[in-house]
């Protein structure tokens, strides 16, 4: 139906391995658990999986602090387990993407242990080191996203090192060409193993301003951002100098040149900058990243106008690249709680999944989204996330979206026979996979129905997009691929709506997508609560 590469228009299912399935009874999910559940993932109708970090790590940031890029952490299994996972996924027709955390390492990485010992060793310049000011304070005002200053004193060298995240996550110095070569060597290891793609964590953080200029202050009315605690000083600055530097473009082109040596692989870059849409457009133009992944639909803003404006803004700037959208992931409140306004129903869950999977681009779906899971309320004494522990109680961190997958009505919802690393909330147990598979009108069965139908719709997978100006709460647009034009309209509210919607040509409603069906007749659009209309336009 198209000569597009597999990743264009693909739906990728994100697996957070700690919370997916535990097979060895330690309360933490593992790679064998993913293997056991790959048939389930394949049954969802998705095209690929993205596995969050499973590499050797002290787990200060639950795997996003890597101590060895090439070794599977024993907590998750072995390198042989990964080989088995890759082989089974491919047998099931699933592509496999892995997280690569390239901007920083763990402080336990051998590179950092050597670098911190002196100012003249072989890796002395592999991390971002700087002298103190005359009064002993850090070299500039940069802040860590996890709270407080972004500089940590190291007495062995008598210098500060940069950490944009935890103090145990020192930033690599990409101005050093030896670092860039070494990092590309670590990426090559996994490409040689046969992975189909990379999700590049915090990819715009690789370079810093070599002159270490201070970030300017941000006015109080501009201090908003994804996942920020209201009292996190990180929002008090424009982050012009600690990330998103122009030198990063050349590195992305080096990375793409490496990836082009392998057939049919792709990279998704996670991008969070002062203007993430502009950076996404820049990073996906030319010979750089295949796709950009930003956070504009991971905010609290939920309206047809906001979604339409966000996508139109990116479309206007992204003249060459390809977007990747998400409405949930492992870092933000689950979408049914964030956008549901207390209406956490299977109908809303299916509507939101269908809406994001109908936008132009590829999509990342977070585990449990297909079940309609809400954000878990994790008590303070059970918190694991250092971000949440630091900013409690005004911000509870990321644990609420990371609780274990509910598989059945058994102990710990079938996730583990041991006490899980995070508790399974009772309301999730009622949404377990086995319970939903037995209920025809469940979120899970609705998700599967839509994904099955979407695969048959070239316009939704590869087509251009053109929005139709509609009042709240309706989002409407057309997708066009060749001679095939599909009209899509979504009611984002819990009440039925009727409104004028003039359409050119003959409009024929299309059903079979698993959503409450709307109608369009005589220029009048009628949509049930959380309903949708898909119609072919001739």
Rg of the chain on CA atoms, in Å: 23
Q: Which residue is it, tokens 């101590």?
A: 67
Residues of the chain by 3-state class (helix, strand, coil), percent to 5: 30, 20, 50
Residue 465 phi/psi, 5-degree rounding, is -130, 140
Active-site residue (options: 61, 201, 282, 385): 201
- Exposure pattern of 139-171 as b/e (b: 16+ CB <10 Å)? bbbbbbbbbebbbbebeebebbbbbbbbbbbbb
Task: Write the DSSP symbol of residue 129.
Answer: E
For residues 374 and 336, is the Cβ–Cβ distance under 8 A?
yes
Residue 493 phi/psi, 5-degree rounding, is -110, 170
* CA–CA–CA angle 321, 323, 324 (5° rounding): 145
At 201, is the secondary structure helix, strand, or coil? strand
Q: Which residue is it, tokens 């034009």?
A: 485
Q: Which residue is it, tokens 């949509």?
A: 527
CA dihedral 397, 399, 402, 407 (to 10 degrees): -150
For residues 166 and 61, is the Cβ–Cβ distance under 8 A?
yes
Question: Measured between alpha carbons, how far is residue 35 from residues 29, 42, 152, 371, 470 in Å?
Answer: 11, 11, 40, 20, 45
- Exposure pattern of 183-211 as b/e (b: 16+ CB <10 Å)? bbebbeebbeeebbbbbbbbbbbbbbbee
Active-site residue (options: 196, 270, 375, 399): 270
At 258, is the secondary structure helix, strand, or coil? helix
Q: Which residue is it, tokens 């139906």?
A: 1
201 tagged catalytic: yes
The DSSP string of 17-84 is GGGT--SSSSSS--HHHHHHHHHHHHHTT-SEEEEPP-EE---TTTTSS-SEEEEE-TTT--HHHHHH
214 tagged catalytic: no
Partnered with residue 500 across adjacent β-strands are: 524
Q: Which element (helix H / strand E) includes 183?
A: helix 177-193
CA dihedral 140, 143, 147, 148 (to 10 degrees): 10
Residues designated catalytic: 201, 270
């Amino acid at each position: 139906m198209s000569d597009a590469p597999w990743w264009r228009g693909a739906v990728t299912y994100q697996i957070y391995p700690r919370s997916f399935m535990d097979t060895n009874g330690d309360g933490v999910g593992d790679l064998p658990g993913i293997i056991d559940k790959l048939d389930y993932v394949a049954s969802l109708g998705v095209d690929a999986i993205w596995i969050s970090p499973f590499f050797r790590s002290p787990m200060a940031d639950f795997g996003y602090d890597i101590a060895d890029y090439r070794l599977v952490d024993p907590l998750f299994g072995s390198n042989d387990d990964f080989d088995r996972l890759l082989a089974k996924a491919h047998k099931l027709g699933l592509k496999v993407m892995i997280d690569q955390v390239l901007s920083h390492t763990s402080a336990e990485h051998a590179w950092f242990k050597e670098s911190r010992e002196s100012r003249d060793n072989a890796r002395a310049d592999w991390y971002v080191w700087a002298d103190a000011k005359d009064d002993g304070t850090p070299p500039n005002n940069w802040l860590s996203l996890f709270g407080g200053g972004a500089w940590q004193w190291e007495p062995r060298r008598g210098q500060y090192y940069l950490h944009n995240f935890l103090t145990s996550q020192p930033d690599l110095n990409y101005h050093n060409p030896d670092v860039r070569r070494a990092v590309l060597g670590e990426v090559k290891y996994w490409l040689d193993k046969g992975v189909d793609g990379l999700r590049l964590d915090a990819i715009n953080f690789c370079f810093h301003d070599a002159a270490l200029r201070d970030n300017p202050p941000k006015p109080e009315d501009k201090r908003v951002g994804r996942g920020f605690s209201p009292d996190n000083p990180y929002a008090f600055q424009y982050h012009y100098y600690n990330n998103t530097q122009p030198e990063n473009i050349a590195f992305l082109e080096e990375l793409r040149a490496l990836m082009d040596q392998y057939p049919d692989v792709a990279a998704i870059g996670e991008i969070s900058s002062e203007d993430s849409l502009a950076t996404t457009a820049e990073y996906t133009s030319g010979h750089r990243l295949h796709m950009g992944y930003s956070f504009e639909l991971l905010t609290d803003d939920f309206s047809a106008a906001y979604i339409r404006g966000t996508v139109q803004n990116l479309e206007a700037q992204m003249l060459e690249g390809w977007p990747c959208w998400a409405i949930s992931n492992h870092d933000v409140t689950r979408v049914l709680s964030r956008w549901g306004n207390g209406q956490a129903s299977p109908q809303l869950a299916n509507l939101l999944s269908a809406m994001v999977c109908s936008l132009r681009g590829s999509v990342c779906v977070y585990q449990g989204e297909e079940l309609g899971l809400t954000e878990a309320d994790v008590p303070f004494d059970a918190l694991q996330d250092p971000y949440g522990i630091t900013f409690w109680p005004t911000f509870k961190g990321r644990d609420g979206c990371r609780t274990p997958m509910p598989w059945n009505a058994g102990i710990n919802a079938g996730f583990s026979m041991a006490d899980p690393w995070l508790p399974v909330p009772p309301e999730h147990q009622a949404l377990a996979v086995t319970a939903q598979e037995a209920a025809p009108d469940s979120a899970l069965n609705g998700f599967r129905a839509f994904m099955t139908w979407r695969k048959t719709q070239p316009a939704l997978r590869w087509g251009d997009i053109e929005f139709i100006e509609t009042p709240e709460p309706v989002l409407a647009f057309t997708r066009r691929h060749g001679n095939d034009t599909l009209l899509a309209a979504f009611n984002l509210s819990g009440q039925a709506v009727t409104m004028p919607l003039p359409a050119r040509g003959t409009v024929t409603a299309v059903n079979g997508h698993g959503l409450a069906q709307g109608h369009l007749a005589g220029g009048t659009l009628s949509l049930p609560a959380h309903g949708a209309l898909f119609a072919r336009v001739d």
